[in-house]
Amino acid sequence: MEELVRGRAETEGARYQSESSRNPAVIVVRFSPSDASTRALEGLRHRFPTSALVGILCGHWEDPRSTLSLVERHLDDFISCPARGPDLLLRVERQIGRKADAAPRAARPTLQHELQLDGLVGASPKFLDAVLRIPRIAKSLATVVIYGETGTGKELFARAIHYKSQRQNKPFVPVNCGALPDHLFENELFGHAKGAYTDASAPQAGLLAVADGGTLLLDEVDTLSLAAQAKLLRFLQEKQYRPLGSSQTYSADVRVLAATNADLRARVEARLFREDLYHRLNVLSLAAPPLRERSEDIVLLAQHFADRFAELYRYKPATLSAAVIEKLVSYSWPGNVRELECMIHRAVVFSESGNIDERAIEIAPPRAETSGEISMKEAKDRAIAEFERGFLTNLLVRCGGNISHAAKSAGKERRAFQRLIRKHHLQPSLMRG
């Protein structure tokens, strides 16, 4: 991996070097939050005005606001000590790509394109450790369990495995096991024959038939009942299935991936998950790290989402202020990347200009706790409130602020939907396109 990036950095750096031979495409400089470093960065920027500056920030951040202001004024990108080779190489490559934007667009695949990981964004050590396992996992035929908290991007990792594998030209079929009632699981997975039950007026193919030759992702696999687990186990063992109401047996060449935010081993010990199915699924495993363990990626992800939503709404390119960056990196992100995505979505929608300031970042201050812990009911109420607000905001944006259309899409009566809007102090009129 490092050889791949280093080789492209050298060749592309030479090809897209600045017009003056003394101006390299990228300069990497180590600095600390001090007046001497500030003067040094100003000198480099003056001497090499067309070069990209990537900083390695060492030392203690006594004043995060002034440090971030220094970074924002003088650097194109930075990384904190201790710096790892892959992290730094990714930042250098990104700046080389930006320098090449003005040149004719030759076929210059980025690292993400070469790995076919376009949906995964990050450069932190834990994230890269997971990403670098994907190509090897993709080459195998084994089943995989992807572990991770809610909102960490488990489906994105699953898609990356599929699209890096030899099955990339075949279907990728995700199914949320938690959304399927137990009595429908077999019908969804295997399909049914005509007359299998009262409403079965025509045969219907199941998800295994749809995914034949490709990949089936079983999300929230821990929610399957023991009966459903037994039916899944039989298919994994025999690679054959029989639709409901049919006497004919079919084969399906499907690679099965599973995703869960639960500890499957603990569920096995609690007799909630079959041990034989656990071993069948858990041949290979991959952990999607929570956002709080990849804090270096917070700003990178935030800018990625800001760019994406600004393009979606045809707004000016969005930029993050130093105050916004400080606010983002100091938050614990219990909802992980999904929470960050929704927060930036709201910020872009409500920002009047291309600049996102800290007032657009809605982070509730932590409540003072008397016992040091909160009750399960309070934690549940908070989670529901956060979900409702994010869901309502996104829905109203999609519906252009039209309450009637949004209520219909949500499957709620208009009056009840308006009560929810008032509860969360939302202003639909500001969400009209």
pLDDT at residue 270, as a whole number? 92
Residues of the chain with pLDDT under 70: 1-23, 31-38, 43, 46-47, 59-72, 82-87, 97-119, 196, 198, 200, 352-354, 364-377, 379-380, 383, 386, 390, 394, 397, 427, 429-433
pLDDT at residue 110, as a whole number? 43
Task: Indicate the pTM of the whole model.
Answer: 0.61
Are residues 271 and 141 part of one domain? yes
CA distance 354 to 293: 29
Residue with tokens 């990949």: 215
114 contacts: CB under 8 Å, gap ≥ 6: 4
114 domain residue, yes or no? no
pLDDT at residue 4, as a whole number? 37
pLDDT at residue 364, as a whole number? 63
Are residues 323 and 269 part of one domain? no
In a 3-state reduction of DSSP, which class is residue 13?
helix
CA distance 312 to 169: 27
pLDDT at residue 286, as a whole number? 96
pLDDT at residue 193, as a whole number? 81
Are residues 271 and 325 part of one domain? no
Are residues 344 and 219 part of one domain? no
CA distance 17 to 179: 53
Are residues 135 and 277 part of one domain? yes
CA distance 295 to 326: 12
Domain that holds residue 362: 293-367
Are residues 268 and 327 part of one domain? no
Instruction: Work out the burial of residue 217: count CB atoms within 10 Å of its CB; fewer than 13 is exposed, 13-18 middle, 19 or more buried.
Output: buried
pLDDT at residue 29, as a whole number? 76
Number of structural domains (the chain) is 4
Classify the phi-psi angles of 288: left when phi > 0, otherwise alpha if psi is within -120 to 50, otherwise beta.
beta
Are residues 254 and 151 part of one domain? yes
Are residues 302 and 154 part of one domain? no
pLDDT at residue 102, as a whole number? 42
CA distance 188 to 181: 10
Closest of 72, 106, 78 to residue 90, by C-alpha: 78
Instruction: Work out the burial of residue 351: count CB atoms within 10 Å of its CB; fewer than 13 is exposed, 13-18 middle, 19 or more buried.
Output: buried
Q: Which of 367, 397, 419 is the last residue of a domain?
A: 367
Are residues 431 and 310 part of one domain? no
pLDDT at residue 388, as a whole number? 75
